[in-house]
Amino acid sequence: MSRVFNFSAGPAMLPEPVLRKAGEEILDWHGSGMSVMEMSHRGPEFQSIIDHAEADLRELMAIPDNYHVLFLQGGASSQFAAVPFNLLRDKGKADYINTGSWSKKAIGEVKRYCDVNVAATAENENFTWIPKQGQLDLDPSAAYCHMTTNNTIFGTEFHYTPDTGDVPLVADMSSDILSRPIDVSRFGVIYAGAQKNIGPSGLTIIIVRDDLVGHAEDWCPTMLDYKTHADSGSMYNTPPTYGIYIAGLVFQWLKENGGLSAMAGTNQRKANKLYRAIDGSDFYQSPVTPEDRSYMNVPFTLVKPDLDATFLDEAAAQGLSTLKGHRSVGGMRASIYNAMPEEGVDALIEFMHEFEKRNA
């Protein structure tokens, strides 16, 4: 078996030690005689799995006691509706910062339920930059302010946390959660699909402040009401048990490797190496404003676009997989989440140098 370096934007690669551990336990979890996929979510075995996963996540992110941690389904996209259902109350309006495709989709959904103030947008320059604090036109009477912290398609990332005053800040952190330490207390709600830095697709994690739970609209579906899941310990219905198990193994792996501060250093080092290789070349270009570049997703283009297909074919032959850029940007995109080892980035840079020598 030969594993590739998988640069997919998601579902993304998982840490190899996690996969090996899961493989060891696939038939018999801790002497139970069954797989995690087979055990009852109501049984003591699975309860210990979800309890440990929550405790480790709370430790990693330093989540304050006045926040619920929910392990749900439906992807981050289901939260585009869940957030207004739970937070609007009687205000009828919300702020949204538009920095890419996912924030646009969130805006498109919430417009069905309330008035939306687009506090800032980078769409005028194809989302190649992030609005700064002074560029945010925030409404102090809004029910909440929504942001997408990292933009997988366009390769931009917030390197600061917006100050929204008394208005709760809601963040879609699907593609950069656990990549560095954050101050959870600055946010009212954090939500994230698991398939980038947490685990397999199918699991969605929500971190929500206590005072924002229990105020859902009367017409809110039961399954989108945060109180439903907070009151039941994420067990109102059958949760994504195997996804939670894998997430727990990822949390353990992060703790064993120094936690989020150590992860942040590794991620910055990986990204800086790759950006230096792009900036130091006349053959490759980055479309993103330098101070807003993502540490997770690195889009780049070739000055000779007719070579894109050749680049991708030859990269794949070298074990460098899933590098094709999104159609909105073109070119290439290297997603270098937590599980991407530094040697994977080094191998990509070496291939880029060699390809340039042969084709410049």
Which residue bears the tokens 């198990």? 245
- Do residues 273 and 305 touch, judged by C-beta distance below 8 A? no
Task: Please identify every residue annotated as catalytic.
Answer: 102, 172, 196
Domains of the chain: 24-256 (3.40.640.10), 259-359 (3.90.1150.10)
**Residue 50 φ then ψ, to 5°:** -70, -35
Mean pLDDT of 185-203: 98
- The CA distance from 174 to 104, in Å, is 15
Q: Give the model's pLDDT for residue 5.
A: 98
Of 69, 109, 300, 23, nearest in space to 198 by CA: 69
Which residue bears the tokens 């939500």? 191
**pLDDT tens string 32-89:** 999 999 999 999 999 999 999 999 999 999 999 999 999 999 999 999 999 999 999 9
SS3 352: helix
Q: Give the model's pLDDT for residue 333.
A: 98
**pLDDT tens string 335-353:** 999 999 999 999 999 999 9
Percent of the chain at pLDDT > 90 equals 97
Mean pLDDT of 166-191: 98
**pLDDT tens string 247-291:** 999 999 999 999 999 999 999 999 999 999 999 999 999 999 999
Alpha helices in the chain (DSSP H): 16-24, 44-61, 75-87, 101-110, 226-231, 241-256, 259-279, 308-317, 342-359
Greatest Cα pair distance, the chain, in angstroms, is: 64
Cβ partners under 8 Å of residue 262, min gap 6: none
Q: What angle do CA 126, 130, 134 make, to 5 degrees?
A: 130
pLDDT above 70 for 355 = yes
Amino acid at the residue 327: R
Which residue bears the tokens 């946010």? 187
Mean pLDDT of 233-259: 98
Q: Give the model's pLDDT for residue 239.
A: 97
Alpha helices in 88-235 (DSSP H): 101-110, 226-231
Peptide bond just before 11 cis, omega within 30 deg? yes
Task: Output the six-digit token pair for 122.
Answer: 């980078």
Amino acid at the residue 150: N
Q: Give the model's pLDDT for residue 123.
A: 96
DSSP-assigned beta bridge partners for residue 148: 172
- Do residues 336 and 271 touch, judged by C-beta distance below 8 A? yes
- Do residues 151 and 159 touch, judged by C-beta distance below 8 A? no
Other CB atoms within a 10 A radius of the CB of residue 191 amount to: 25
- The CA distance from 287 to 300, in Å, is 7
Q: Is the pTM of this model over 0.95?
A: yes
- Do residues 307 and 314 touch, judged by C-beta distance below 8 A? no
pLDDT above 90 for 328 = no
- The CA distance from 352 to 360, in Å, is 11
- Do residues 263 and 338 touch, judged by C-beta distance below 8 A? yes
The rounded mean pLDDT for the chain is: 97
Q: Give the model's pLDDT for residue 1.
A: 58
Which residue bears the tokens 């900036």? 279
Q: Give the model's pLDDT for residue 2.
A: 85
Q: Give the model's pLDDT for residue 360.
A: 87
**Residue 243 φ then ψ, to 5°:** -60, -40
